[in-house]
Amino acid sequence: MDWNGKTVVITGASSGIGEATAERFVNEGANVVLAARRQERLEEIRKRLNEYEGNIAIKATDVTSRQEVENLIQYAIDEFNQVDVLFNNAGLMPLSYMKNKKVDEWERMVDVNVKGVLYGIGAVLPHMIERNEGHILTTSSVAGHEVFPSGAVYSGTKFAARVIMEGLAKEVKNTNIRTTSISPGVVDTELMETITDEDVLGKMSNRGSQFTPLHGTDIAEAVFYAVNQPQNVDINEVIVRPNNQ
C-alpha cells in the first residue's frame, strides 16, 4: 500500500508504543498527527522524525476531554483533508489492590482507557462512514484477555476497550471501515511509572521482571501489519507478547 497522502492519527504518541508507531508510519511517507498532553514531548518527537519523508503535525490533546478529541480529528482533517487511520492508544496502568481503594486512579483509568477510546471512535466514525473508508485501532492488552491480582480495574478497562472494538467491527462489517484491537504483552515503556500502590511496587521490586519485555517497535510493526493489508482483509485482533510471557 502507498502511504503517501494517507493520514494516521495516534493518541498517546508522546512516548512508548505511540511514538514508535508514529515513526513506523512517517517512515512509510504517511501524514501523521501526534496527540498527547505533553506538547513539548511531541515537539521533540517531531524534530527527531523530521528526517523521514512523511509529514508530521502535532496536537496537544487530553483524551478525557470529548471536545479535545473532536478538535483533534477536525484538526487532522483541516491539515490533511482526511483521516485514514485512528490509533486509540493513550492509556495508563496504575495497578493497585482493590483493598487499597485508589478510587481516583480507578476513575482515571476508566476516563482514559475507556472513555478516551469512545471519544476517539465517536469523533472519527462519521468522517469514515462518509468516505466509506478508514481503519480504527485501539490498544487493549493481554490484560484485556486475562485478569491478575492488582489488575482488576486495568483489566476491566482493557476488556471493555476490546469488546467495544468487537461491537464496532460487527456494526461496520458491510463497509470499507476496518477495526483492530492490539493486545500487547509486556513492553518496555513508561507505563509502569503510573503505579503508586506501595504493595504492588514492593512485590515488583522483590520479584524483578518475570518477562523479557518487547520494545515499542515490536508493537508498531503489528499495527502496521494490521493496517497494511488489502481492503478485503480485516484483522480484528492481534496479541503480541514476549515469548516467555
Using the contact rule CB under 6 A, the part of the chain among 124-132, 166-174, 183-191, 198-206 near ligand NDP is: 183-191
44 vs 201: CA distance, rounded Å = 30
Residue nearer to ligand NDP on the CB measure, 12 or 134: 12
| DSSP bridge partners of 178 | 135
For residue 217, the SS3 value is helix
Applying CB under 6 A, does 91 fall inside the site for ligand NDP?
A: yes
Q: How far is CA 211 from CA 203, 207, 245, in A?
A: 15, 11, 6
Burial of 188 (0-12, 13-18, 19+ CB in 10 A): middle
The distance of closest approach from Cβ of residue 227 to ligand NDP in the complex, given in angstroms and rounded to an integer, is: 17
Which cell goes with 134?
Answer: 478508514
Applying CB under 6 A, does 123 fall inside the site for ligand NDP?
A: no
CA dihedral 151, 195, 161, 146 (to 10 degrees): -20
Which cell goes with 214?
Answer: 518487547
Applying CB under 6 A, does 41 fall inside the site for ligand NDP?
A: yes
Q: Is position 75 annotated as part of the catalytic site?
A: no
Applying CB under 6 A, does 220 fall inside the site for ligand NDP?
A: no
133 vs 139: CA distance, rounded Å = 20
The distance of closest approach from Cβ of residue 211 to ligand NDP in the complex, given in angstroms and rounded to an integer, is: 9
Q: Which of 76, 112, 121, 125 binds ligand NDP (CB under 6 A)?
A: 112
The distance of closest approach from Cβ of residue 186 to ligand NDP in the complex, given in angstroms and rounded to an integer, is: 5
Applying CB under 6 A, does 96 fall inside the site for ligand NDP?
A: no
Which cell goes with 177?
Answer: 471501515
Applying CB under 6 A, does 242 fall inside the site for ligand NDP?
A: no
Q: How far is CA 127 from CA 43, 111, 158, 202, in A?
A: 27, 24, 25, 47
Applying CB under 6 A, does 94 fall inside the site for ligand NDP?
A: no
52 vs 38: CA distance, rounded Å = 22
Residue nearer to ligand NDP on the CB measure, 45 or 168: 45
Applying CB under 6 A, does 90 fall inside the site for ligand NDP?
A: yes
Applying CB under 6 A, does 89 fall inside the site for ligand NDP?
A: yes
Applying CB under 6 A, does 38 fall inside the site for ligand NDP?
A: yes
Q: Which is catalytic among the residues 52, 75, 154, 225?
A: 154
56 vs 33: CA distance, rounded Å = 6
Contact (CB, 8 A) for 193 and 88: no
The distance of closest approach from Cβ of residue 241 to ligand NDP in the complex, given in angstroms and rounded to an integer, is: 9
Which residues are tagged catalytic? 154
Residues in touch with ligand NDP (CB under 6 A): 11-18, 36-38, 41, 61-64, 89-93, 112, 139, 141, 184, 186-187, 189-191
